[in-house]
A and B are shown apart, each in its own frame.
Chain A
Amino acid sequence: MMQMMEELSARQEKTRKQDGQSKEPELIDRNELASAPLTEEQEIYKENILDHYKHPRNNSIPEHPHIVRHGHNPLCGDEMTIYGVVKTSTKAEEWSLSFTGHGCAISQAAASLLTEELQRKSSAEIKSWDEEKMMALLGIPISPVRRKCALLALKTVQQGVAVWHLK
């Protein structure tokens, strides 16, 4: 009860302050506050992920792709096209992957990281990837609602490879 009272009183104090602030909006130094370092909770947007989002690797369209597979999360608006060029040898196929797309940082960074990771890998190796491996590659905490974003690239690459083998 006491805690509730304290919270309520803190709330009222803030409301009072706010009333004052509306007359003097410069009381908050937004720039100073906005440049505070990232907290642990904001880890999800750590440098590596943002770097892949802002400067995506393998972000190109090859001239004669063997795979052109479009992936889409209609609810999020995440979209990407994965391109694959295959070199076949006696041992196994070797894939060269790239992508184009737009969407949230997680989905696009995942595509960038994955196309890098799967470069010159075989179909068997690509097929062997599971969700947990993809999460480990991202290396950030992903909440249940964002899993679809994190997995779109893997799903699209794997379906592309599977469909190519059916042809």
Chain B
Amino acid sequence: MAAGLTSETQEISGEELVAARTKKVGLAAAQDFPLLSRQSNGKPFRYLDNSATSQKPRAVIEAMSSYYGSFNANVHRGIYRIAQEATLEYEKAHDVVAQFIGGQAEEVIFTRGTTDSLNLLAFSLAKQLREGDEILLTEMEHHSNIVPWQQVAKERKAILKYIPVSEEGTLLMEKAREMITTKTRIVSVTHISNVLGSINPVQEVASLAHEVGALLIVDAAQSIPHMPIDVTNLGCDFLAFSGHKMLGPMGIGVLWGRKQLLEDLEPYQYGGDMIREVRFDGATWNDLPWKFEAGTPNVPGALGLMKAIEYLQDIGMENIQQHTSEVTKYAQEELQKIPGLVILGPARRGPLVAFTMAGIHPHDIAELLDKENIAIRAGHHCAMPLHKKLGLGGSTRASFSIYNTKEDVDALVLGLHHVRKVFQ
């Protein structure tokens, strides 16, 4: 059939369009997140795996496709117009990130994500370590903040220690005070645990570390999408996070570091943008932050992340924290009522609730919830040592973002009652 006016299509009135635009899911406009309208068997999609990755607003998707569609060029190289446009936008993304976390643009290094940021630090800081130096982590770290340090400790004959977690699931600060000594060179802690939800007292850990001349690294992967972050206020030396958990694209992340420290640090990778001058007998490094951005960078990723930050800022990080905290609190209250369900971690928490159900494996819970079009995470959430300490093979986790509502929690609770019925 030729394209034209048929009875299958219909003109949308301006009024209807306005109504569609102003509809809300949680704090977001419903039409901003194309994926959330995805249904299965007529059941609305309940996306509750935001600690793993968040969904993307249309603005982010469009920012990336607009780069490829209208000014795709390599940055810091071309003299022609689109190369200059791409360079300006890419540099602006550094400014936007810096302003978002209260740092300076030259302190913002784009990486592939939190894991990449932490690997960069582990690799580059390793060169400053001597035998017997101590690296301090916590028992609630993600594998990405354990394994790089294990490798560094092995290579440099440094000693790796873990600040223990209390029964309640909080960091044992009296232990931290004992364990942070003049031997400690690096302290690397997660801001919000991706399993327990605990919000760690980073400022207090920072002062303990700085008293003995150690560096403090903060893994902000879970906290940056959830709450306002200011690096000066936190008192950290380095901050690592990913774009994709904060409505941005995958494959882009940030390492922020204090300027003086970054200047003293050896580069992580060599080649491309990180070089100032190469001779046959050596090379010199570019200025910050380019010194740490070897090769052609992920420009569309950076532009997508910039757009995600602008989107978050439009809503306001305080509002986001208030909204997701309310949904999380409601989830805690409702989940607790389910017989046999045990919530992991303390009452005061970030935007996630991990739990176990007596006699039911997390994968079975996840598979049955999927039939209800509810997406949650099941397993060890890349925190095997923590689960082992808790005596668990895994857990089930619901995690929330700006577009989640109490209605999503109701659907989850209903789904879990169904799971219980199947297994009773």
On whether the beta carbons of B414 and A34 are closer than 8 Å, the reply is: yes
Q: Give every chain A residue within 8 A of B364 (Cβ-Cβ).
A: 45, 104-106
In contact, A34 and B23 (Cβ under 8 angstroms): no
Q: Are B361 and A104 in contact (CB under 8 A)?
A: yes
A163 at the B interface (CB under 8 A): no
Is B201 located at the chain interface by the 8 A CB criterion? no
Given contacts A5-B16, A15-B407, A102 and B393 within 8 Å (CB-CB): yes
Task: Kindly state whether residue A136 has any CB partner on chain B within 8 Å.
Answer: no
Contact call B9/A11, Cβ cutoff below 8 A: no
Q: Which of B44, B361, B393, B420 contacts A14 (CB 8 A)?
A: B44
Question: Are the C-beta atoms of B37 and A8 separated by less than 8 Å?
Answer: yes
A 34-81 contacts with B by CB, 8 A: 34-36, 38-39, 41-42, 44-45, 50, 54, 74-79
Within 8 A of B (CB), among A82-102: 102
- Nearest CB in chain B to that of A54: its residue: B423
Give the total of B residues in contact with A, Cβ under 8 Å: 42
Is B414 touching A38 in the complex (CB atoms < 8 A)?
no
Within 8 A of A (CB), among B378-409: 379-380, 384, 387, 392-394, 405-407
**Chain B residues with CB below 8 A from A34, complex form:** 414, 417-418, 420-421
Enumerate chain B residues within 8 angstroms of A11, measured Cβ to Cβ. 23, 25, 30, 37, 44
Question: Are B25 and A103 neighbours in the complex by a CB distance under 8 Å?
Answer: no
Query: Does the CB pair A77–B394 fall under 8 Å?
Result: yes
- B324 shortest CB reach to chain A, Å: 16
The answer to whether A45 and B422 have CB atoms under 8 Å apart is yes
Do the beta carbons of B414 and A8 come within 8 Å of each other?
A: no
Q: How far is the CB of B61 from chain A (nearest CB, A)?
A: 16
Binding site secondary structure of chain A: helix
**Contact A21 B407, CB 8 Å, known A39-B371, A103-B393:** yes
* Contact (Cβ within 8 A) A146 B363: yes
Q: Is the CB of B361 within 8 A of A103?
A: yes
Does B413 count as interface, using CB distance less than 8 angstroms? yes
Complex-state Cα separation, A77 to B388, whole angstroms: 10
In whole angstroms, what is the CA distance A146 to B387 when docked?
Answer: 21
Min CB distance A100 to B, Å, is 15
Given A12-B30, A15-B25; A7-B361 close (CB under 8 Å): no
Contacts of B422 in A (CB 8 A): 38, 42, 45, 50
User: What residues of chain A lie closer than 8 Å to B393, measured between beta carbons?
Assistant: 76-79, 102-103
Report the minimal beta-carbon distance from A24 to chain B, rounded to whole angstroms: 12
How far is B394's CA from A88's CA once the two chains are assembled, in angstroms?
41
A94 CB → nearest B CB, Å: 33
The answer on a CB contact under 8 Å between A44 and B367 is yes
Q: Is A31 an interface residue (CB 8 A)?
A: yes
Find chain A residues with CB under 8 A from B418 CB: 33-34, 36
B39 contacts partner chain A, Cβ-Cβ < 8 Å: yes
Q: A11-B44, A12-B30 are in contact. Are A76 and B410 (CB under 8 A)?
A: no
- Return the chain B residue nearest A1 by Cβ: B12
Q: Which of A38, A76, A143, A149 has the most CB of B within 10 A?
A: A76
Check B414–A33 contact: CB distance below 8 A: yes
Q: How far is the CA of A50 from the CA of B360 in the complex (A)?
A: 11
In the complex, what distance in Å separates the CA atom of A15 from the CA atom of B393?
36
Q: Judging by beta carbons under 8 Å apart, are B16 and A77 in contact?
A: no
The residue in chain B whose Cβ has the minimal distance to the Cβ of A44 is: B367
Which residues on B sit within 8 Å (CB–CB) of A128? none
Q: Given that A7-B37, A34-B420 are contacting pairs, would A45 and B379 also be in contact in the complex, using a CB cutoff of 8 Å?
A: no
Distance A18 CA – B10 CA, assembled complex (angstroms):
30
Is A4 at the interface (CB under 8 A from chain B)?
yes
Is A8 a contact of B371 with CB atoms below 8 Å?
no
A165 on interface, CB distance cutoff 8 Å: no
Residues of B within 8 A of A33 (CB): 414, 417-418
B39 touches A18 (CB 8 A): no
Assess whether A15 is in contact with B24, with CB atoms less than 8 Å apart: yes
Q: Which residues of B contact A39 (CB under 8 A)?
A: 371
CB-contact partner of B12 in A2, A12, A45, A76, under 8 A: A2
B413 lies within 8 A of A30 (CB) = yes
Q: Which of A8, A54, A143 contacts B20 (CB 8 A)?
A: A8
Could you say which of B20, B363, B367, B407 contacts A5, with CB atoms under 8 Å apart?
B20
**B201-247 contacts to A (CB < 8 Å):** none
- Known A11-B37, A105-B364; judge A76-B379 contact (CB<8 A): yes
Residues of A within 8 A of B410 (CB): 18, 21, 28
Let me know if B368 is at the binding interface, CB within 8 A.
yes
Nearest to B19 among chain A residues (CB) is A9
Q: Could you write out 9 A-B pairs with CB less than 8 Å apart?
A: A8-B37, A9-B23, A15-B25, A18-B406, A21-B406, A42-B368, A77-B394, A102-B393, A143-B367
- A interface residue numbers (CB < 8 A to B): 1-2, 4-5, 7-12, 14-15, 17-18, 21-22, 28, 30-31, 33-36, 38-39, 41-42, 44-45, 50, 54, 74-79, 102-106, 143, 146, 149
Binding site for A on B (CB under 8 A): 9-10, 12, 16, 19-20, 23-25, 30-31, 37, 39, 41, 44, 330, 361-364, 367-368, 371, 379-380, 384, 387, 392-394, 405-407, 410, 413-414, 417-418, 420-423
Not counting A15-B23, A76-B361, a sample of 6 additional A-B residue pairs whose C-beta atoms are within 8 angstroms of each other reads A4-B31, A4-B37, A9-B19, A30-B413, A77-B362, A105-B423
Q: Report the 3 A-B pairs with minimum CB-CB distance, sorted nearest first.
A: A77-B393, A18-B407, A104-B361
